[in-house]
Amino acid sequence: MKSFDVVVVGGGPGGYIAAIRAAQLGLSTACIDDWRGADGKPALGGTCTNVGCIPSKALLQSSENFEQAGHHFAEHGVKVKGLELDLAQMMKRKDKVVKSNNDGIVYLFKKNKITFFHGTGSFGKSPSEIMVGDETLQAGHVIVATGSKPRALPGAEFDEKLILSNTGALAMGEVPRRLGVIGAGIIGLEMGSVWRRLGAEVTILEALPAFLGIADEAVAKEAAKVFARQGLKIELGVKITSVENKKSVKVQYTASDTSSKTLECDQLIVSIGRVPNTDGLNSAGVGLKLDQRGFIAVDDDCRTNLPNVWAIGDVVRGPMLAHKAEEEGVVVAERIAGQKPHLDFNTIPSVIYTSPEIAWVGKTEQQLKAEGLAYRAGVFPFSANARARALGDTAGLVKFLAAEKTDEILGVHIIGPFAGELIAEAVVAMEFRASAEDIGMICHAHPSLSEAMKDAALGVDKRSLNI
């Protein structure tokens, strides 16, 4: 029997980062992962690397290039003749990007002397015994990082041909003429954007009555306007009554005005959320407690009900984000090593990589109102930012929310170019408990998009300089 200080089950961003941090801290570490790539070989990196963050961002970039060349280059005086889509090459590039990330993790495991086992890890006779293939590992601590899988719509199981999860949505062989998407969340919007840019007529059906309810209302309103202009059709407040898939897909639904409607499409992406993945773990066998929704129950420190068993990432409560999984992985490894790290869930940023990008951190205005917190807001539109004008990318805004009395930043919301990069400044500011005035006093390069951050921060005190 092999013994390790730490055995990590799952090699996604939660698991592989936890393993690296544990190894850095001098703990003997093993990581077990069962993913196989399209070539049938082990492919470390989990959902994020193989069928999530990485391939989606590769296709978002490629499809945006196609859209820019087709519709926006001319405005810059760049004429393109004979523009053609080579989807096979686009997919090949995406696969290459994924592979280089898989290989990067293998390199990091070797560098940090992490023992990798390919296969399904499950608890054995006790919580400190982990079985993989015909090996039994003795673990001082176990970190469960088994992630999540797509939620299927009842009556419309994924076949990855007509009814697609994220896996099929990232690997289509041709552009569908009519694409249906169920769910206008982050994944639905990103996937819908990719295929719309490549020529599909995209209709997104969403059950909730409000668009992007998780985002600040000002941002959601702006996003709805821009996406409609781009030709993304989004219907809110619908109730799906049936899905029929033969040669094409027919979705019957009740619209928000209670009328019965049918959406006929060539392919349908179902992106209605993800469910925790505890299959094959033998959690019941060792008494590992799950919560009512099937997530592994953990406290704020990611401790489960079993001694020395921890759980992180998508398989536990909280936002299903790769960087949240990573941070939990680091924090748990450090706790195992006897350190006392802290993770502030309020400063975990969210990003939607549509065009324009959407990013936020902290509280939305709706949340502040609901919690009765007194605040002031500063809003600055990218149309008044010199760099955005030079880029030709002026849709969107930055919004700062700060405590009325102390001016401490409570939330920052961005829709606009490179919002996913700009949000980092807000995260740093909030981690250091900065005030809006602090950001307003810092020199930002000119002309830069980050000046919109400064101007919005100054706007909290009604003294933006450029509007």
Q: Which residues bind ligand FAD (CB under 6 A)?
A: 9-15, 32-35, 46-48, 52-53, 56, 120-122, 145-148, 166, 187, 277, 280-281, 313-314, 320-323, 325, 353
Tokens 């890890």 belong to 121
Between 166 and 435, CB nearer to ligand FAD: 166
At a CB cut-off of 8 Å and minimum separation 6, what does 197 contact? 63, 64, 66, 67
Check if the beta carbon of residue 219 is closer than 8 Å to that of residue 423. Answer: no
Q: Which of 53, 40, 58, 56 is nearest to 12 (CA)?
A: 53
**Nearest-approach distance from CB 301 to ligand FAD, in angstroms:** 17
At 361, give phi and psi (nearest 5°): -150, 145
> What single-letter amino acid sits at 399?
K
**Structure tokens that stand for 245 in this block:** 């898939």
Tokens 């536990």 belong to 316
Between 114 and 320, CB nearer to ligand FAD: 320
> Between the CA of residue 317 and those of 184, 278, 282, 299, 320, what are the distances in Å?
21, 13, 20, 9, 8
3-state secondary structure of 391: helix
Tokens 């924090």 belong to 331
Check if the beta carbon of residue 130 is closer than 8 Å to that of residue 124. Answer: yes
Q: What angle do CA 421, 426, 427 make, to 5 degrees?
A: 90
Between 32 and 240, CB nearer to ligand FAD: 32
**The sheet that has 163-164: what strands, in order across it?**
163-164, 267-270, 178-182, 201-205, 233-235
Residue positions counted in the chain: 467
Quote the CA–CA distance of 215 and 401 in Å, as a whole number: 13
DSSP 41: S
Between 9 and 175, CB nearer to ligand FAD: 9
Between 278 and 385, CB nearer to ligand FAD: 278
3-state secondary structure of 127: coil
> Between the CA of residue 438 and those of 29, 383, 409, 423, 455, what are the distances in Å?
43, 24, 10, 16, 12
Quote the CA–CA distance of 285 and 301 in Å, as a whole number: 24
Between 322 and 430, CB nearer to ligand FAD: 322
Question: What does the DSSP assignment read for 167-223?
Answer: HHHT--SS--SEEEEE--SHHHHHHHHHHHHTT-EEEEE-SSSSTTTTS-HHHHHHH
Quote the CA–CA distance of 18 and 339 in Å, as a whole number: 14
Between 19 and 460, CB nearer to ligand FAD: 19
**Nearest-approach distance from CB 326 to ligand FAD, in angstroms:** 8
At a CB cut-off of 8 Å and minimum separation 6, what does 68 contact? none
**Nearest-approach distance from CB 133 to ligand FAD, in angstroms:** 11
**Nearest-approach distance from CB 59 to ligand FAD, in angstroms:** 10
**Nearest-approach distance from CB 8 to ligand FAD, in angstroms:** 9
**Nearest-approach distance from CB 281 to ligand FAD, in angstroms:** 5
**Nearest-approach distance from CB 403 to ligand FAD, in angstroms:** 28
Q: Which of 434, 437, 393, 431 is nearest to 415 (CA)?
A: 393
Check if the beta carbon of residue 106 is closer than 8 Å to that of residue 423. Answer: no
Between 14 and 180, CB nearer to ligand FAD: 14
User: Which residues are designated catalytic?
Assistant: 446
**Nearest-approach distance from CB 378 to ligand FAD, in angstroms:** 27
Between 42 and 447, CB nearer to ligand FAD: 42
Check if the beta carbon of residue 200 is closer than 8 Å to that of residue 178. Answer: yes
**Nearest-approach distance from CB 312 to ligand FAD, in angstroms:** 7
